[in-house]
Amino acid sequence: MVEMQLVERGIKDARVLDAMRKVPRHRFVDKAYEGLAYEDMPLPIGEHQTISQPYMVAQMTEALQLKGGERVLEIGTGSGYAAAVLAEIAGEVYTIERIKPLADNARQTLADLGYENVRVIAADGTLGWRDAAPYEGIVVTAGGPRVPSSLKEQLRTGGRLVIPVEHEGGFQELIRVTRMGETQYAQDSLGYVRFVPLIGEEGWHQGDGKDHGDPALAGA
Catalytic pick among 52, 79, 150, 189: 52
Alpha helix stretches (DSSP H) within the chain? 14-22, 54-63, 81-87, 100-112, 149-153
Q: Would you call 119 exposed, middle or buried from its count of C-beta atoms within 10 A (0-12, 13-18, 19+)?
A: middle
Q: Are strands 155-166 and 172-179 parallel, antiparallel or unpaired?
A: antiparallel
Angle at 67 between CA 65 and CA 69, to 5 degrees: 125
- Nearest one of 132, 60, 63 to 94, comparing CA atoms: 132
CB 115 within 8 A of CB 89: no
CA distances from 72 to 63, 115, 150, 198 (A): 13, 14, 15, 19
- Tell me whether residue 150 is one of the annotated catalytic residues: no
Q: Would you call 75 exposed, middle or buried from its count of C-beta atoms within 10 A (0-12, 13-18, 19+)?
A: buried
d(CA 173, CA 182): 25
Catalytic residues, which ones?
52
